[in-house]
Structure 1
Amino acid sequence: MLSDDLSRHVALHEVLGFKFRTQRILLRMFVAYAERHGDNFIKSNRVIAWAVEAPSPEQRRNRLLTVRRFAIAMHAEDGGHEVPAADALGRGIFRRTKPYIYSAEEIGKLMQQAASLGPAATLRPLTYVTLLGLLAATGMRISEALALRLSDVTDDGLIINKTKFKKSRLIPLHPTTRAAIDRYLSARLPISTCAAVLFVSNAGTPLCYDTVSALFRQISRKIGLRGGPGQSGPRIHDLRHSFAVRSLEQCPCDDDAVSRHILALSTYLGHAHVSDTYWYLQATPGLMAQIADAGEDFGRTGVI
């Protein structure tokens, strides 16, 4: 059964230290699709038929290549599995999703909508208000926030143990952010749960990434930031981009100050290389005004 093959494939990657989250979701979707058609082996035409159901060229190619890697591993065990050609859907060019920079007003609306979540008088609204506020105030990854444990909340800040690049770091907190976490802890700690994570559901279980992402899309639609289901729009990850850009906007327009700020920001965000931080910095009116001022100064004095 393909589902058994997939279980072994996923288990192997997880034992090797890969999170394999997105790949696992896509492969489960494909296996369910293939098994509904009675397939016991991976078939190239089935992979392509499933891949083309994705809503965009990028997602279709991602589906194809994700299943293709699975097919290569399975073909090594049993030649009955077919390996689709990598260019079966054409040769795609990787394009980064253009980030959306939230305004302070939009972040406030997101948190207000989260505060109105039901059921009333439960932990759920406060959980999502605190989670979204923390992402906006620190720029941390959603995966890092969901992995936080109660013991990671220290007097010096938040300890990030599970990072994208297996690096640990300390995130200092603004007093207002720390006060918000303390308010959440006052409501969170009395809940009986065996989970040691910081953010939990009303049932006391750890929050699931897919659930949080789906809820974020839901509240984004309610405040007009996204269209209907299936339509693209601002992502929860864009809170991280917004933090990076707003942080740079507050930096003095000085070469040395910017260099120091970028290095500090890269460390704070947990990037492996400082060059990775540049992808988070987008042109905003504030940044463009600083660039224009610097250009005028250079034109007058020859010095930036």
Structure 2
Amino acid sequence: MNDTIITIDEVEKHISGYLLMRRNMGFKCNTEEKNLKSYIGCYRKAKEVLSEHNITEWCKRRPTDAADTWQRRCTYIRQFLVYLTNMGLAVRVPPVVRTREKSSFTPYIYSSEEIIAIYAVCDNLKAVSTSTHNGLFAMPVLVRMLAGTGMRISEALSLMVHRVVLDQGYVILHACKNGKDRIVPLSETLLEVCKLYQLYRSRLPQVSDYFFVQADGCPLSYKSAAGWWRKILHGAGILHRGDLYGPRIHDLRHLFCIESALQQAKNGANFYTILPVLAAYAGHTNIASTGRYLRLTSEMYPEIMSKTEDVCEYIFPRMKSHEY
């Protein structure tokens, strides 16, 4: 047990102070805040919230945890406990969790036929009840926005109306994952879809300042979008294997990056020009992050692979084999 018993109110107060300190240092802390609040919700009724037993249970790996998810959860609670020790409170800090396990996750790359089927299902979605508190209203546009721009689902859901400049054909993504803003252009077809959506959106009795809303005018949540996405996949005949394995709605971003690189390669560009531009467009801080999206094989994309070999051949020369 910890040497100091801290009440639930004190813990919540310290969490607020900890997050404020982190944000003043320039960190966004959205996921960190969500994780710490989840811990509080799990052990709120415990006699001692920050007991060694509770911390140990929280830091155990769950069957559905990917390696990085498990490591982040342990890191968040550990950093908070270190903060408490620096505040003079006697709490036990768990050891650092380090995993050398490489991620085996492979994004699902939708085929052209699957994308057409997904759009068709989106355009024919029907609500099963008369409740307006669902995300059906925005899903056809949201799916096309993700597939047509490659933006993150979090960026789309946080998009505000005043940052959607339809008369000039672009949107402004504010305070993205790396803390920077970026401008994302819209294609002509996507622009027409957004204008039609905006027309019907303006007819809602009450509506929030978020661009993607439900029929009741409230902001569209990730939970609602994910629920509708599973229904869309089912309607398109695509097997959904669970939240951990997908296919996920975020995989539309992978598809956009790969298709963009493929199109540029077909136009004669090489990776010296493709990756830096795509990295800036996708909001990555380095080319390596963009490279992880391009999980390509020579069987799927021979055009890109052949051009990559041509560009990099002098870096990795073919060696003659000799028998000794």
Is the TM-score greater than 0.5? Answer: yes
CA distance in 2, matches of 1:60, 1:296: 40
Match of 1:18 in 2: 27
**Does residue 1:185 correspond to 2:198, yes or no?**
yes
Q: Deviation at 1:199? A: 0.8
Match of 1:62 in 2: 72
Partner letter of residue 36 of structure 1? K
Q: Following superposition of structure 1 onto structure 2, how do residues 74-93 of structure 1 map, counting pairs within 5 Å? A: 74-87=84-97, 91-93=98-100
Match of 2:305 in 1: 291
Q: After superposition, what is the alpha-carbon deviation per residue over 1:240-266, rounded to whole angstroms, capped at 9, x for unaligned?
A: 111010111112358754432323222
Question: Do the aligned residues in 2 keep the contact of 1:48 with 1:64 (CA within 8 Å)?
Answer: no
CA distance in 2, matches of 1:13, 1:186: 41
Q: Which runs of 5+ in 2 are unaligned?
A: 1-7, 314-324
Partner letter of residue 26 of structure 1? N
CA distance in 1, matches of 2:181, 2:288: 19
Match of 1:302 in 2: none
In structure 2, relative to structure 1, the CA distance for the partners of 1:53 and 1:168 (3 Å cut) is: closer
Equivalent of 2:109, from 88, 101, 106? 101
| Secondary structure of the structure 1 residue equivalent to 2:239 | coil
Q: Which runs of 5+ in 1 are unaligned?
A: 300-304
**Does residue 1:208 correspond to 2:208, yes or no?**
no
Equivalent of 2:240, from 226, 244, 251? 226
| Secondary structure of the structure 2 residue equivalent to 1:252 | helix
Partner letter of residue 95 of structure 1? K
**Does residue 1:72 correspond to 2:86, yes or no?**
no
Equivalent of 2:278, from 254, 265, 273? 265
Equivalent of 1:32, from 33, 41, 47? 41
Q: Deviation at 1:175? A: 0.6
| Secondary structure of the structure 2 residue equivalent to 1:171 | strand
| Secondary structure of the structure 2 residue equivalent to 1:272 | coil
CA distance in 1, matches of 2:308, 2:277: 22
CA distance in 1, matches of 2:40, 2:61: 14
Q: Relative to total residues, which structure has the larger helix share, 1 or 2?
A: 1
Q: Deviation at 1:14? A: 4.3
Match of 1:141 in 2: 152
Report the TM-score, using the length of structure 2 for normalisation.
0.77
Structure 1 vs Structure 2 CA RMSD: 3.1
Partner letter of residue 147 of structure 1? S
| Secondary structure of the structure 2 residue equivalent to 1:67 | helix
CA distance in 2, matches of 1:169, 1:60: 31
**Does residue 1:132 correspond to 2:138, yes or no?**
no
In structure 2, relative to structure 1, the CA distance for the partners of 1:194 and 1:121 (3 Å cut) is: closer
| Secondary structure of the structure 1 residue equivalent to 2:301 | helix
Partner letter of residue 157 of structure 2? L
CA distance in 1, matches of 2:101, 2:205: 46
Q: Following superposition of structure 1 onto structure 2, how do residues 241-280 of structure 1 map, counting pairs within 5 Å? A: 241-252=254-265, 256-280=269-293
CA distance in 1, matches of 2:51, 2:247: 36
